[in-house]
Structure 1
Amino acid sequence: MNYFLMLSNSHADGVLSWYQTLRLEGRMCDVVLEAEGVKFPAHRTLLACSSDYFWSMFQDYTLESGAHTISLPALSSKGLEQILDFIYTSWIALSPSTLEVTLQAACYLQVTPAVDLCIEYISESIALDNCCFFANIAAHYGLSKAFTVSNSFIARSMCRILVAEQYKAELLELNLDSLQEVLAAEEMPGVKEMALLQLALDWLEYNPQSALQSNALLCRIRYSLVPPDELSRLSAIEPALCTPFIHSVVHKALNYHLQGPLQPLLQSVHTSLRTTNSKILLVGGGPEADRPQNQILAYEPRTRKFRPLSTTLPTKLQHQGVCVVGHFLFVLGGEVVKVDEESEKSAVMTVTDQVWRYDPRFDQWEEMEPLLQKRAQFTCCVVEGVIFAIGGRGQRGEPALSSVEKYTMNAGCWRSGVSLPHPVHGQACATEGTGIYISGGIYGNSPDSSKDVLFLHAFEGDAWQRRASMSIARFGHQMATVRGRIYAFLGMYEPFCDIEYYNPEQDLWTHLKPLLNDRFCYGLMATGGRRVLVFGGRKWQEGQEVCTTNVLEYDTEYDAWREVCKLPGPLCGTQCAIMTIQDPPET
């Protein structure tokens, strides 16, 4: 027999509506609930269907099953009223002033949908002025989702909380579990570790009953991110930092600060900034040729936004080398450019051997051991923590260099490496595993660019080996390694905009889709996935060189180009590196 199953959308709402009418009129009510002397007539059947507490209470075998009045001394009258309104209407009015009494009643009476709405209210209403209160409520009532949301919000907003005295005071009343979770957070934009250490110490002073848990709280601090002078001062006067366990942790951090050149090799969670997102740094460059600026821009690939770092290069450089080891930025050699301030037309370029290291943990530059030779238009790379500086040239007009030098953190100095078979400058460099590849450039005093590719085992090779040549002679170009392939991009004045990739296993170059427009003196960085980004650069336009503002993305999987965003302004000659830096406070 055929039949149709039909659903009435209005029936359930209608039943509840009638129950509410009966309650308001006091009709057919068969039980009275009492809290704080206030009486609430109700209907047993609806209570039993809405609450596990009442379902158990109104069974035939219980004493309360026949009682006319049931006292609930554990509840407030307001909380009971809130839950009864929810049971009869499915609606609940929540605010910071009613949240706790509502949760107390909902949990006691086991009205799970009302508890879920309280959790949703916390998640959607959290703000600076209530986040600590919500975290304490969530911890007290075991609301795991709200607990996580509240703690995460406090961590992300910590910078703003600490600068506002009224909000900072509320942190001192935060429950221990929440504070421990916050201090273990990986994301805490704009917050100095010293501020977190002081917060933990202030909290322990404000909550002396939690002194026995001081180790569990203080072990969340990343002491290597605290300035050593401040750390030494506090460890001498704060008893909480003198327990055997915390004392050993502090001593280890102070020892880290003394390691100097070794620090990039000593990285751990205790030395890591509280951020999980790496940024692409655009180091130096400027809006026109031979006029570099000392700015550093940070680019966030996910949001495609730029922001200038608070720090700047110690000097204006071009044709420098840039690399990252242990989340320290190294800037090597290059040409120091000094422009006549009066005319702003003439500039003096001096090749340097200086090496600068930038520590984003303390926003500090430090001059390191200089290169063995002054270099510009050279290549540098990092293999297993060792920096290689390869070829290049000295002062303008001087011959190119065939020398190679390497910097080992353990030694803290530059040492000679395996020399190139011939002098070269303007070449490109990429690594694959422990292998170093260089391509193109100009040999010696030759006026012509080269197609040659050379290879060296970084730690085992005693000579550079030839590999298959590129199809195009290139100079001032760049290379990037993506998924085991090495991609060669445009160099100076290349008329056809061709790019190609090299397969190390097959020793073979393959042509790819060309750029639509020529480009040189750009910044380039592989993002860690399958894409490569090209930042700015110069190109020919109506017979003149112009600096560009666009950022191009090359997808190696689909051999496709597209423009993804614009730079804040024209930029050429920048060098790129990818590293972790502190995020600014969330707004």
Structure 2
Amino acid sequence: MSYFLMLSKSHGEGLLSRYQSLRQDGRMCDIILEAEGKEFPAHRTLLACSSDYFWSLFQEHTLESKAQTVCLPAVSSTGLELVLDFIYTSWISLSSSNLEDTLEASCYLQVTHALDLCTEYISNSLTLDNCCFFANVAGRYSLSEALAITNSFIARHMAGLLGPNGDRSGLLELNLDSFREVLGSDKIPGVKETALLQLALDWISCNTLPALESNSLLSRIRFGLVPPEDLNQLRSHNPPLRTPFIYSLIEKALHYHLQVPLQPLNQSVHTSLRASTNMVLLVGGGVEADRPQTQIQSYNPDSKMLQMLPVNMAKKLQHQGVCVVGNFLFVLGGEVVEVDGENEKMAVMTVSDQVWRYDPRFQHWEEMEPLLQKRAQFSCCVVEGVIYAIGGRGQREEPTLSSVEKYNMYAGCWRSGVSLPYTVHGQACATIGKGIYISGGIHGSQTESSKEVLFLNTCDNDVWVRRSAMSIARFGHQMAAVKGKLYAFLGMYEPFCDIESYDPKENQWTRLKPLLQDRFCYGLTVTPGGCVLMFGGRQWRDGQEVCIVIWRKVYKLPQPLCGTQCVQMSLQELIET
């Protein structure tokens, strides 16, 4: 025999509708609830099925099970009326004016589904004007989900709250747990740390706290992001910053500011940007060959948005080296291009030994210790916090280099490394673990590009070792390491678009599917997920060099770009409004 389990969707709704009609007509009501002198007829069975409080209250052994009237002094008449409406209709009318009455009654009467709707209402109604109020309400009634959402909203919109039209007074009235959570957030875009520190001091002055709680609150400030002059000034005028614990944090931050060469190696949560996102920086390059720009563009792989860094490079560079250590951008050497003001077609190019460092925390450039030699078209890489500059073109009297130098951050200077077995420039470079690979380039005074591959184990630091050569001679190309393998892309003098990969374990190169277009003078980087991104470049077409801007339709640059170098680092997010 077969059975079918059938469901009527209208039965439950019809049942509640009939109960509501009975209540409105005052029929079959067997209990009266009283709050603030106001009476509400109701039905025991429906109350007991909707509320754990009434379920316990109307058990057979209780006095209330036989009572005609039950007084509820702990709830307001407004709150009780709203909760009863919900019990009878599944609907509840919420606003900021009746929210607390509703929560008070729902909590006391243990109507959990009404509490869920209050959480949903708070989460979907957040604005700059009410978020602090909602945070306090959610904290008072232990609405953990609503509280987490509200705290996150306050952090992400802190710039607006601290602005001229913001609710700073609301921030100063924020409950301690929410304020502590907000100050510890990684997502506070567009707000300087000094402003957060001043807000914390203002909050403490408006809310009396024991020293232990004050220290816990102020420890959420990232003192390494506060300029030293601000730290010293605020510490001298604010006693909460002079407790032994906070004083030690400030001293560590001041020591960090003094150790300029070591800053990339001394990163911690107190020096990490809030609201940062991983960006691809396009350093140097321009619309035309030999006409680089000082602007640096940043590309967000997630949102596919392009924006400019707020501070330009000090000079127009091409064929420079770029790398990132401790979320500081280093720009090394390269050719300084100076265009004649009267004749823009004339340009003077000088090989440089200068090293510039960009700090996204304070958005400024600083000139560092120069290279031992002037270099352009050289390899630049980082292994365990040590920057390597390898080969390249030097000054006219020494056109091609075999020398290697590395930047010792503890000493704050460049030191000679293991030299290459031959002079080379225009080679590509990539690292796997503690090993450095370079490939191709042009050796010495030769004119033809090379297939050779060299490897240096930086732990042994003895000698460069030859590895299996590429199948294609390449110059001005790029290499990338992805999941333990090397990939060599394109090059300047190739009439084809081949890519090949190298397996270090097998010491073998494998030819892969080519790209649709040949290209050189492009930028290339690998995302954390292993996706290779290529930016701009030039291409041979009918004997002419043509700037191109598209690769696989991932993103179209607003204008052609060639000669750029790519790195990845964290930058401040755009302000959310």
- Aligned-residue offset at 1:424: 0.7
Give the whole-Å Cα distance in 2 for the aligned partners of 1:410 and 1:145: 47
Is the Cα contact below 8 Å between 2:485 and 2:501 reproduced in 1?
yes
The CA deviation string for residues 127-177 of structure 1, in whole angstroms up to 9 with x for no partner, is 222111111111111111111101111111111211135412210011000
Match of 2:339 in 1: 339
Paired position in structure 2 for 1:62: 62
User: What is the distance in 1 between the residues matched to 2:290 and 2:112?
Assistant: 69
Deviations 1:391-444 (A, max 9, x none): 111246852111111101111101111111111110001111111111111111
Shift of 1:79: 0.7
The 5 A counterparts of 1:264-413 are 264-275=264-275, 277-395=277-395, 398-413=398-413
Taking the TM superposition and a 5 Å limit, the aligned residue runs for 1:427-438 are: 427-438=427-438
Counterpart in the other structure of 1:36 = 36
Q: How far 1:77 moved relative to its partner?
A: 1.1
TM-score, normalised with respect to structure 1: 0.96
Q: Distance in 2 between matches of 1:144 and 1:203?
A: 23
Q: Count residues with an aligned counterpart.
A: 577
The code of the aligned residue for 2:564 comes to T
**Larger displacement relative to structure 2 (367-376 or 122-131):** 122-131
Residue 39 of structure 1 and its aligned partner are, at CA, apart by 1.3
The corresponding residue for 2:426 is: 426
Unaligned runs of 5+ in 1: 553-561
Aligned partners of 1:284 and 1:292 also within 8 Å: yes
SS in 1 for 2:140: helix
User: Which residue in the other structure is 2:177 paired with?
Assistant: 177
In the other structure, the counterpart of 2:132 is: 132
Task: State how 1:123-162 maps to structure 2 within 5 Å.
Answer: 123-162=123-162
Amino acid at match of 1:432: I
| Helix, strand or coil at the partner of 1:277 | strand
Per the TM alignment, residue 569 of structure 1 is displaced from its structure 2 partner at its CA by 1.8
SS of structure 2 residue aligned to 1:563 = coil
Cα distance in 1 for partners of 2:151, 2:572 equals 20
Q: Which amino acid aligns with 2:320?
A: Q
- Please give the alpha-carbon distance, in whole angstroms, between the structure 1 residues aligned to 2:97 and 2:285: 56
Letter in 1 for 2:575: P
Equivalent residues of 1:204, 1:211 under 8 A apart: no
Contact 2:100 2:137 in 1 (8 A): yes
Paired residue type of 2:500:
E
Local SS of the residue matching 1:338:
strand
Q: Does 1:570 align with 2:560?
A: yes
3-state SS, counterpart of residue 454 of structure 1: strand
Q: Is the 8 A contact 2:128 2:166 kept in 1?
A: no
Q: Which amino acid aligns with 1:102?
A: T
CA distance in 2, matches of 1:413, 1:278: 29
The 3 A distance-change label for structure 1 pair 166 and 499 is closer
Matched residues in 1 for 2:395 and 2:293: separation?
Answer: 20
Distance 2:456 2:518 in 1: 31
Contact preservation (8 Å) 2:224, 2:254:
yes
C-alpha distance in structure 2 between counterparts of 1:85 and 1:269, whole Å: 50
* Aligned counterpart, 1:213: 213
Query: CA separation in 1, counterparts of 2:561 and 2:387?
Result: 27
The 2-side partners of 1:3 and 1:290 are apart by 82
Provide the residue aligned with 1:186 in structure 2. 186
The alignment yields a C-alpha RMSD, in angstroms, of: 1.3
1:116 equivalent to 2:116? Answer yes
Describe the superposition over 1:113-138 as per-residue Cα deviations: whole angstroms up to 9, x where unpaired: 00001111111222222111111111
Taking the TM superposition and a 5 Å limit, the aligned residue runs for 1:447-462 are 447-462=447-462
Distance in 1, matches of 2:490 and 2:166, equals 56
Write the mapping of 1:243-282 to structure 2, written as runs, cut at 5 A. Answer: 243-275=243-275, 277-282=277-282
Between the aligned residues of both structures, percent identity stands at 68
Is residue 276–residue 571 contact of structure 2 (8 Å, CA) maintained in 1?
no
Counterpart CA distance in 2 for 1:436 and 1:245 is 44
CA distance in 2, matches of 1:504, 1:446: 28
Q: Deviations over 1:169-223 (max 9, x none)?
A: 2100110000111111112112211111111001001112566521110010010
Q: In 2, distance between residues paired with 1:231 and 1:219?
A: 14
* 1:493 shift after superposition: 2.8
- Taking a change above 3 Å as real, the CA distance of residues 512 and 166 of structure 1, as seen in their structure-2 partners, is closer
CA distance in 2, matches of 1:546, 1:395: 29
Point out the more displaced range, 102-111 or 91-100. 91-100
Checking the alignment, whether the CA contact within 8 Å between 2:276 and 2:572 is kept in structure 1 is no
Q: Which moved more, 1:354-363 or 1:65-74?
A: 65-74
Give per-residue Cα distances to partners, 1:29-60, cap 9 Å, x unaligned. 11111111211111111111111111111111
Tell me the residue number matched to 1:531. 531
CA contact (8 A) 1:423 1:443 kept: yes
**How far off its partner does 1:343 sit?**
2.6
1:277 Cα deviation (Å)? 2.8
Counterpart AA for 2:258: L
Deviations 1:324-374 (A, max 9, x none): 111111000001111122332111111110000111111111100000111
| Partner-residue secondary structure (3-state), 2:29 | coil
Say which is worse superposed, 221-230 or 277-286, in terms of deviation. 277-286
For residues 248-304 of structure 1, the C-alpha deviation after alignment (integer angstroms, 9 at most, x for no partner) is 111111111111101111111111111353111111111110010011111111111
**Distance change in 2, residues 1:202/1:97 (3 Å):** same
Q: Compared with structure 1, are the counterparts of its residues 166 and 435 closer, same or farther at alpha carbon in structure 2 (3 Å cutoff)?
A: closer
List per-residue Cα deviations over 1:533-564 (Å, max 9, x = no partner). Answer: 001111133442121222x3xxxxxxxxx331
Determine the C-alpha separation between the residues in 1 that align with 2:193 and 2:304: 28
Per-residue deviation at 1:529?
2.1
1:532 is aligned with what amino acid?
V
CA distance in 2 between partners of 1:377 and 1:108 (Å): 74
Amino acid at match of 1:256: Y
Q: CA deviation at 1:7?
A: 1.7
Output the amino acid matched with 1:281.
Answer: L
How far apart in 2 are the matches of 1:139 and 1:578? 39
For the residue of structure 2 that corresponds to 1:47, the secondary structure is: helix
Look up the equivalent residue of 2:557 and give its one-letter code: L
User: Which residue of the partner structure matches residue 15 of structure 1?
Assistant: 15
Counterpart CA distance in 2 for 1:479 and 1:237 is 54
Q: Bigger CA drift: 200-209 or 274-283?
A: 274-283
Aligned-partner residue type, residue 479 of structure 2: M
Q: Aligned pair in 2 of structure 1 residues 290, 84: CA closer, same or farther (>3 Å)?
A: same
CA deviations 1:551-586 (Å, max 9, x no partner) are: x3xxxxxxxxx3311123211111111111111211
Amino acid at match of 2:221: I
For 2:270 and 2:212, locate their aligned partners in 1 and report how far apart those are by CA, in whole Å. 23
In structure 2, how many angstroms separate the alpha carbons of the residues matched to 1:83 and 1:448?
A: 84
2:97 alignment partner, SS class: helix
Equivalent pair of 1:275/1:580 in contact (CA under 8 Å): no
Q: CA deviation at 1:26?
A: 1.1
What displacement does 1:5 show?
Answer: 2.4
Determine if contact 2:352/2:375 at 8 Å carries over to the other structure: yes
* Partner Cα distance (2:349, 2:558) in 1: 26
The question of whether the paired residues in 1 share the 8 Å contact of 2:474 and 2:493 is answered with no
Matches of 2:418 and 2:3 in 1, distance apart? 87
Q: TM-score, normalised by structure 2?
A: 0.98
* Aligned equivalents of 1:52, 1:535: Cα separation in 2: 63
**2:569 matched to which residue of 1?**
579
Cα distance in 2 for partners of 1:165, 1:500 equals 57
Contact persistence 1:377–1:392 (CA under 8 A): yes
Write the distance in 2 (CA, Å) between the matches of 1:300 and 1:242. 41
CA distance in 2, matches of 1:449, 1:486: 19
